[in-house]
Structure 1
Amino acid sequence: MRAITFKETGGPEVLHLADLPTPTPGPGELLIRVAYAGVNYGEVQHRLGDFGSPTGDTVTGLEAAGHVAELGEGVTGVSVGDRVTAYLPDGGGYAEYAVVPAAFAFPLPDTVDLRTGGGAALVLTTAYGVLAGAARIARGDTVLIHAAAGGVGGAAAQLARALGASAVYGTASTPQKAAYARDTFGYDDVHVRETFPESILAATAGRGVDIVLDPIGGPTRLASLDVLAPFGRIAVYGEAARHPDLTLPILPLWKNNRTLTGYNIGDLSRRTPETLRHHALSALSLAASGDVRIDITEEYELGEAAEAHRLLGEGRNRGKVVLRVAGE
């Protein structure tokens, strides 16, 4: 099968097209013939070595959609030929075939095509999980979403509204991205990230917000503490800026009624896979009903994966980026 692999960490140029044996599903797994694969910043981090050094020909890709090609021993509730969108905790999506734990292969609703499904499993699951699981969103909450124009950010804005948020704000790195997010995902407003504390406090009459979703880290995370309303919480789900970790004193959290929480889909996949599956199916249900949509702005051929990584690495991406492997 054709696959995008890398043998060493580095820039996008380390990705190359290779011919690998088609994998075989083991017990509790299934094999999917990939139609589309999502491109995520987590895969950029994988390529850069944030998840460790590669061993041999390594295939990245954390989400994909396609048809079930083969069932492993003990797999029930799904049939060969079914359309699924899959979260791939160990990677493998940048290939014509991918093995996935059956628990993380989710039936694709009839109203969602394979192209959209290719960019759905990680993005929707993370957006729903960080809101409902980590941030414990409640009806009437106000929400601030950093990286508002990205795949998770755009999905989270719509999910927050569907889950009862009374106001949804965002930040983006440029005025152009801010305008795109505001016009596409239904934010109340989107601010340029450099000056967001003043803008958010002005927009909320000084109260601040109940929830901040932060995949950025560093100074953005630190400044987010100052825009929390009483009992507000920052839900961390990434380190896109790749800053050194913060060292935070605990007393200001207590004295200012603040909470810091986190969401990591990889940890959930290992320790509570049933929770991950619940988050995914709940989010897909909202996508099927039309409450949430994924805006795919860029599509590349499988062999162009390096170009897709270059786009994300330079911060030029908006919405969702996918690789077309076999198409519909």
Structure 2
Amino acid sequence: MRAVQITRFGGPEVMDVVDLPDPTPGPGQQLYEVSSAGVNFADTHQIENSYLAEQKLPLIPGAEFVGTPVGGGQRVVGLLDGGGYAEKVVAHDFLTWPVPDGVSDEQALAVVLQGSTAWHLLRTSAHLAEGETVVVIAGAGGVGSLAVQLARKWGAGRVVATASSPEKRQLAEELGAHATVDPALADDDPKAFTGALREANGGKPVDIVLEMTGGNVFNGSLAALAPFGRLVTYGMAARQETRSVPPGMLMQKSRAIIGFWLAHCMARPQMMDAAMTDLLAMVDAGELKPVVGGRYPLSAVADAHQDLLARRTTGKLVLDPSR
């Protein structure tokens, strides 16, 4: 089979398309023909070995796929612990879900990891209550574009999104954000970013921030929280160190910082089932509209990563293993 393999850590240039033997399924697993493979920002960390779990070489990146069992059967979307950038994958039965006929590969890939993350950020970690203000950092991205829609659907009183260009800010507003903010304000002065978030909320502090950048964006977001506000951190896109947070700073406003990593939900299949059943049904009914950012040939995987790192993309990026 054709697959993307890395034998050294680094940037997009370390990914090579090679021929490898088909993977062999173990107990409770099946071998699938991949029709589309998903690309996530976390994959750029994986090939650098700069994410939460240490990686071992050689490796095939990729955590999600849409495909059918070898020999035929139901099209499914599934999650993997690696190996997704390939023509064939092996997946655990408890981490695959049937894809309704009315849902495209790209839409299914948008919700399986990024959608499930958005679902659990709001439901499980932030415990969104009706009427609360939600700030979505990177509101035009894969997770953010779905989090904006879910927050509106679940009764947020006001949704504020950040996005790095006028086009992305317009998209976030079309998806349901009441107001948008340029995150570049945080580059030199976190206080300016804090002020912009509060201004976008009518001059008031905010209740929830979904944050995946780190650095000054994290610091400015934390300062924008109201009493009993929650900042849920689920990424490190800026690749910057974030200052330590003294307990007194949290106590002064009864603020909370909550970490989230979807891998812990994958270890509890019922948590993934709850999110995926809900998300796929909403997409099939037209109630949730994933943003598809682009389809790349497997041979152009480096271009997909470069576009993602340069913030040239919106929504979900996918790879076509047949090309």
**TM-score, length-scaled by structure 2:** 0.92
Give the superposition deviation at 1:307.
0.7
Unpaired runs of 5+ in structure 2?
186-191
Separation (CA, whole Å) in 1 of partners of 2:208 and 2:30 = 37
Equivalent of 2:202 in 200, 205, 213? 205
Q: Is the 8 A contact 2:111 2:290 kept in 1?
A: yes
Q: Which residue of 2 aligns with 1:191?
A: 181
Equivalent of 2:320 in 311, 314, 324? 324
Equivalent of 2:56 in 50, 54, 58? 54
Separation (CA, whole Å) in 2 of partners of 1:129 and 1:30 = 27
Separation (CA, whole Å) in 1 of partners of 2:108 and 2:33 = 13
Equivalent of 2:125 in 123, 126, 134? 134
Unpaired runs of 5+ in structure 1?
71-79
Q: Which residue of 1 aligns with 2:264?
A: 267
Give the 4+ runs in structure 1 shifted more than 4 A. Answer: none
- Does 2:283 correspond to 1:281? no
Give the superposition deviation at 1:284.
2.1
Give the superposition deviation at 1:252.
1.7
Separation (CA, whole Å) in 1 of partners of 2:284 and 2:231 = 29
Separation (CA, whole Å) in 1 of partners of 2:322 and 2:75 = 13
Separation (CA, whole Å) in 2 of partners of 1:294 and 1:249 = 38
Alignment of 1:82-101 (within 5 A): 82-88=74-80, 90-101=81-92
Mean Cα displacement is larger for which, 139-148 or 288-297? 288-297
How many equivalent pairs are there?
Answer: 314
Secondary structure, aligned partner of 1:207: coil
Alignment of 1:18-33 (within 5 A): 18-33=18-33
Give the superposition deviation at 1:128.
0.5
**What percentage of aligned pairs have identical amino acids?**
36
Give the superposition deviation at 1:53.
4.4
Separation (CA, whole Å) in 2 of partners of 1:91 and 1:21 = 16
Secondary structure, aligned partner of 2:239: coil
Separation (CA, whole Å) in 1 of partners of 2:82 and 2:92 = 11
Separation (CA, whole Å) in 2 of partners of 1:299 and 1:119 = 12
Separation (CA, whole Å) in 1 of partners of 2:170 and 2:239 = 25
Deviations 1:117-176 (A, max 9, x none): 233311111111111111111222211000111111001111111222122110112333
Q: Is the 8 A contact 1:4 1:17 kept in 2?
A: yes
Equivalent of 2:147 in 136, 156, 173? 156
Q: Which residue of 1 aligns with 2:230?
A: 233
Q: Is the 8 A contact 2:77 2:109 kept in 1?
A: yes
Give, as a single letter, the amino acid of the residue that structure 1 aligns with 2:294. E
Separation (CA, whole Å) in 2 of partners of 1:175 and 1:115 = 25
Deviations 1:216-259 (A, max 9, x none): 11111111122212211001111111112431101121220211
Q: Is the 8 A contact 1:103 1:274 kept in 2?
A: no
